[in-house]
Amino acid sequence: MAVPWWRDAVVYQVYLRSFADSDANGEGDLPGLRSRLTYLASLGVDAIWLNPFYPSPMRDSGYDITDYCDVDGRFGTLTDFRDLIEDAAALGIRIIVDIVPNHCSSEHPWFQQALSAGPESPARERFIFRDAPNNWQSIFGGPAWTQTADGQWYLHLFDASQPDFNWRHPDVPAMFEQVLRFWLNHGVAGVRIDMANTLFKDTELPDRDMASPVVPYYDQPELHGLYRSWRKILDSYRGDAFPGPRGAIGEIWFTNPDSARPYLAKDELPQLFNLRLLLTPWTARELRVVIDEARGLTTRSGASLPWVLGNHDITRVVSRLGIDQALIRHPTDALRRGMVPGDLSLGTRRARAAALVLLALPGGAYIYQGDELGLPEYLDIPADRRQDPTFYRTDGAAVGRDGCRIPMPWSGDVPPYGFADRPLRTWLPQPSDWARLTVAAQLSDPESMLNLYRAALRLRREHPALGDGEMTWTETGADQLAFTRDPGFGFFANLGDEPVGIPPSSRVLLSSGPLEGPLLPPDTAVWLQQ
């Protein structure tokens, strides 16, 4: 059987609102992205995952949707989207869109109908209304229930502006089947499924026991029938600009790999993000465990877990790896971490080494926009410019995710750094010291993070081992990560405090930082020809 395109694809995550602004309204848009496609082609990526660009009041930056089959005016039009698909295809780049099935916006017509129709009405059945709440907490902080004027409560695992659908109501799966087909008919190569394990809730809506690993809104059995039906739809689309079936990647924050395995059955989701990597401290031992878990899931099912170092929900990798690593084990801490300034030069050195890990492992990889520039988390956003509902729902106790969503610096010495072509107020402020981090500045610096990514992606395409080459761990010291890929590729990273010898009789193809003669300094990785 032919290897499906997503198995070892490098996907670039475009957070559209912060990518490139063509109409100078302070927010990125589809024409802006089209104008920068050649940047992505020369970086060497195979596909783009686009965060939601659908009509939305933007209470959760587009994850609160009022119409699943259109483009929000701030981002362009459906024609712009079709043009994007076409232009990207001409450059050999596929497009993946975000499907957000757990909840919609409270301004979605169905929710508005539910509110006005009142208790016991059929319109309320499409959501989860009850006369009294249970003890569930919103993932953004505060209770997961909000009371309406008539006294009933509705469930929202996220912000109050994001009511959860009742997936046991037939209208809900029927609508999402239409949504899926709508974007597939537009030529998308795959979908990313937001919160793929929370759509169905335990029918009893029991209180959550925080001491128990069982979460009553995770992993309900009906999900598997749903994903089997979606897989059939995805597999029925072939051809157009690219051959082969369409992909799907689920967002599931699992801690136990056994809970992820059922989703990866042959006829369900072909991929889940390897989000565990985002919460793993920079130690060789822990990274190795997480890598092996993902490889275990991959080989058993034929599906795979692409490697991820960053996304729009997590503190930027250069900042994350520069703080006390004990702080990064739990997602809640991850949201709070923005408050802890770290050692950026240490974090950057580690992030460079981590990029070489990401791109040397077997399987696909996702690169979050700006990580190829080594952008740090922006910690000093004034409170009145913050947007993330997490900040507001916790009264500022958790700063939220704005710091990793700052508009991209393209060129120039001052904001907006070429994000738009004139001075303006961007939707989130940009730091004043990013001139050295712009794309233009980094392209002309051979030692830049951008040139490291470009070199790694080029070698990844050229080296015969970096497609399907078998991976084998090499036994080394406890603080090193070392493996080979067949034929002839070696990876070696030093996560310890002392320099270590590079295996003799190998030639260095790429190094994440300067070497000390035959020694590999701390927090440095090399790709080797053996």
d(CA 393, CA 60): 12
Residue 507 tokens read as 């030639």
Residue 19 makes contact with ligand NOJ by CB under 6 A: no
CB 262 within 8 A of CB 268: yes
Query: Binding-site residue total for ligand NOJ (CB under 6 A)?
Result: 9
Residue 401 tokens read as 């995710």
Select from 47, 128, 195, 408 the one that contacts ligand NOJ (CB under 6 A).
195
Residue 60 makes contact with ligand NOJ by CB under 6 A: yes
- Closer to ligand NOJ by CB, 338 or 416: give it: 338
d(CA 136, CA 190): 32
Fill in the DSSP letter of residue 218.
Answer: S
d(CA 171, CA 91): 39
Exposure of 155 by Cβ count < 10 A (0-12 exposed, 13-18 middle, 19+ buried)?
buried
* Alpha helix (H) residue ranges in 482-523: none
- Closer to ligand NOJ by CB, 63 or 127: give it: 63
Least distance to ligand NOJ, CB of residue 203, Å: 23
- Closer to ligand NOJ by CB, 255 or 345: give it: 255
Least distance to ligand NOJ, CB of residue 106, Å: 13
- Closer to ligand NOJ by CB, 275 or 466: give it: 275
- Closer to ligand NOJ by CB, 138 or 319: give it: 138
Active site residue 194: yes
d(CA 41, CA 171): 40
Tokens 């009933």, located at residue: 152
Residue 313 makes contact with ligand NOJ by CB under 6 A: yes
SS (H, E, C) 130-171: ECCCCCCECCCCCECEEECCCCCEEECCCCCCCCEECCCCCH
Residue 194 makes contact with ligand NOJ by CB under 6 A: yes
Residue 63 makes contact with ligand NOJ by CB under 6 A: yes
- Closer to ligand NOJ by CB, 61 or 484: give it: 61
Residues 220-259 binding ligand NOJ (CB under 6 A) are 251
Containing H/E element for 175?
helix 171-185
Residues 405-444 binding ligand NOJ (CB under 6 A) are none
Mark 68-107 with x for binding to ligand NOJ (rule: CB under 6 A) and - for no binding: --------------------------------x-------
Least distance to ligand NOJ, CB of residue 195, Å: 5
Residue of 251, 268, 371, 377 with catalytic role: 251
- Closer to ligand NOJ by CB, 80 or 313: give it: 313
Residue 312 makes contact with ligand NOJ by CB under 6 A: yes
Residue 371 makes contact with ligand NOJ by CB under 6 A: no
- Cα-Cα end-to-end distance for the chain: 30
Residue of 21, 80, 194, 293 with catalytic role: 194
- Which residue, judged by CB position, is nearest to ligand NOJ in the bound state? 63
CB 123 within 8 A of CB 113: yes
Least distance to ligand NOJ, CB of residue 229, Å: 22
Least distance to ligand NOJ, CB of residue 433, Å: 27
Active site residue 462: no
Tokens 């997602």, located at residue: 331
CB-CB neighbours of 122 under 10 Å: 11
Which residues share a beta bridge with 191? 97, 248
Q: What is the DSSP string of 72-124?
A: -TTT--HHHHHHHHHHHHHTT-EEEEEE--SB--TTSHHHHHHHHH-TT-GGG
Interface ranges with ligand NOJ (CB under 6 A): 60, 63, 100, 158, 194-195, 251, 312-313
Catalytic residue list: 194, 251
